[in-house]
Amino acid sequence: MVFNGFKAKLLLRLLLLVAVIVVAIFVVYRTDWYITAFCLLLLAVFQLYDMLFFVERTNRDISSFLEAIKHSDFTQRFAAEGTNSSFRDLYGSFNDISEAFQRVKTEQQAHHHYLQTIVEQVGIGILTYDAEGEVQLVNQVFKDLLRVPYLRHVQSLERVSPDLVRALWQTPHNEKTLVTVALEQEQLLLNLHVTELLLQGQLLRIVTMQNIQSELEEQELQTWQKVIRVLTHEIMNSVTPVISLTSTVAGLLETEVIAKQAAGEAIEEEVLEDMQAGLQTIEKRSAGMLSFVKNYRRLMRLPASELRPVKVRELLQNVRRLLQPSMQTQRISLKLYMPDEKLTLLGDAEQLEQVLINLIKNGMEACEAVAKPCVEVLAYIPEQEKSKVRIDVTDNGAGIPEDVLDKIFLPFYTTKKQGSGIGLSLSKQILRQHGGSIRVSSQLGGPTVFSLQLKAIAE
């Protein structure tokens, strides 16, 4: 609308100028009114100057307005009042546009302040930087963790920890890494999670950082407390009856054997039988205690995994050959769903066989009481993670109670009368050494599924 008004006023001035020039030429060539012609020429010169001033002023004001927009200066105002109508609408529009931009800028600043306040309230460190390492955003928690008063470039963290800077640059998108940082007398174990974001053509890296040292120490303490409770329970269960029986046998030996031998009396056969039974019980409990200690040493001294390419199909076939006879004897169906022959994982074949045998035997025991006992093993590559191999061991037994699920991987915890309680704990350790994981899913009434996840090797 303003532009149309500008064109109309410019065209009107041009038409008036042309009209005055035409009239002046007519007067010069057709009449002797030289004074009139001179006045008309002066009027034409004035109109030309007015038109040039009109155009130049408009261009100057537009340039000034655009320069202010370029530098995000929305405080400039044009005095629309007191000017002629040619510029009043133009200046009014300039002012309206500046006010609109000013509102947008104010809203952006308010949102930025709001976001900054939220970021400052988050309990973990947050750092955002571009491809050059220039810091875009950093919260106080991040600075407090590393004890830096300000941070403008990622590389300045070299003086804190070169390993941390290396992790900030080398950690892939959407991956986590652990970095140990020593600060004066304190050691931090930092958990970093890196995410990349393309924002308006600029690559940004967003890093969240959390010190998990205290949580790790707390978890370690709780784990040791659990182990100590189990050890104490097992030791007390074995030592208490041994002490009691030893005292009983010692009493019998003193009163029934030594005393009667001294008196020349015959020793009753029942007393000898009681002493023999007591000694056998002591021997049995001592053997049980020895077995417990051996299992404990086995759990604590698990050999390192020798990781090599392992064909999943061959691994499952070996397990089936080992277990098929006992499965047939107990009349339990074992179904193995073999994957593609090319499917390969990175692992220690012997240790993984041990894990699978343990899980399948657990499944056999769990489904013995059902009408058609069955254990299934399925190996495949999950749709969500193409770089992983997943092996599911499923039984159709009665399931695992919910209050037991979170304890089954604890060392020496077992619900079996003859169990040692180290099988699942040992399996979890083996999977951890492989960089994999083991999970369980179950409910009362079954089925129960143990899922192994390991690293796949591309063929």
What's the pLDDT tens digit per position in 201-229?
888 999 988 887 766 666 666 766 666 66
Whether domain 216-300 has CATH 1.10.287: the reply is yes
The answer for residues whose C-beta is within 8 angstroms of residue 314's C-beta and 6 or more apart is none
Q: How far apart are CA 415 and CA 400, in angstroms?
A: 10
Q: How far apart are CA 44 and CA 55, in angstroms?
A: 16
- The pTM is what? 0.44
Domain ranges of the chain: 2-106, 122-211, 216-300, 308-457
Confidence of residue 399 (pLDDT cuts 50, 70, 90): confident
**Under DSSP, is residue 300 helix (H, G, I), strand (E, B) or coil?**
helix
Q: Residue 36 pLDDT > 60, yes or no?
A: yes
**pLDDT tens digits, one per residue of 345-362:** 888 888 888 888 888 888
Spatial contact of 47 and 16, defined as CB atoms under 8 Å apart: yes
Q: How far apart are CA 451 and CA 54, in angstroms?
A: 81
Q: Residue 433 pLDDT > 80, yes or no?
A: yes
Spatial contact of 440 and 400, defined as CB atoms under 8 Å apart: yes
Predicted local confidence at residue 408, as pLDDT = 75
- CATH for 308-457, options being 3.30.565.10, 3.40.50.300, 1.10.3720.10, 3.30.465.10: 3.30.565.10
Residue with tokens 């030594």: 258
Give the DSSP letter string of 281-330: HHHHHHHHHHHHHHHHHHHHTPPPP--EEEEHHHHHHHHHHHHHHHHHHT
Q: How far apart are CA 390 and CA 437, in angstroms?
A: 10
Q: Residue 309 pLDDT > 80, yes or no?
A: yes
Q: How far apart are CA 213 and CA 216, in angstroms?
A: 5
- What superfamily does domain 122-211 belong to in CATH? PAS domain (3.30.450.20)
Spatial contact of 315 and 352, defined as CB atoms under 8 Å apart: yes
Q: How far apart are CA 185 and CA 297, in angstroms?
A: 35
| Average pLDDT in the chain | 77
Burial class, 262, CB count within 10 angstroms (exposed 0-12 / middle 13-18 / buried 19+): exposed
Q: Which of 20-24, 74-78, 357-361, 416-420 has the highest mean pLDDT?
A: 357-361
**Under DSSP, is residue 400 helix (H, G, I), strand (E, B) or coil?**
coil
Amino acid identity of 56? E
DSSP 182: E
- Tell me the torsion sign for CA atoms 393, 398, 403, 404: negative
**Under DSSP, is residue 189 helix (H, G, I), strand (E, B) or coil?**
strand
**pLDDT tens digits, one per residue of 101-131:** 778 777 877 777 777 777 677 778 889 999 9
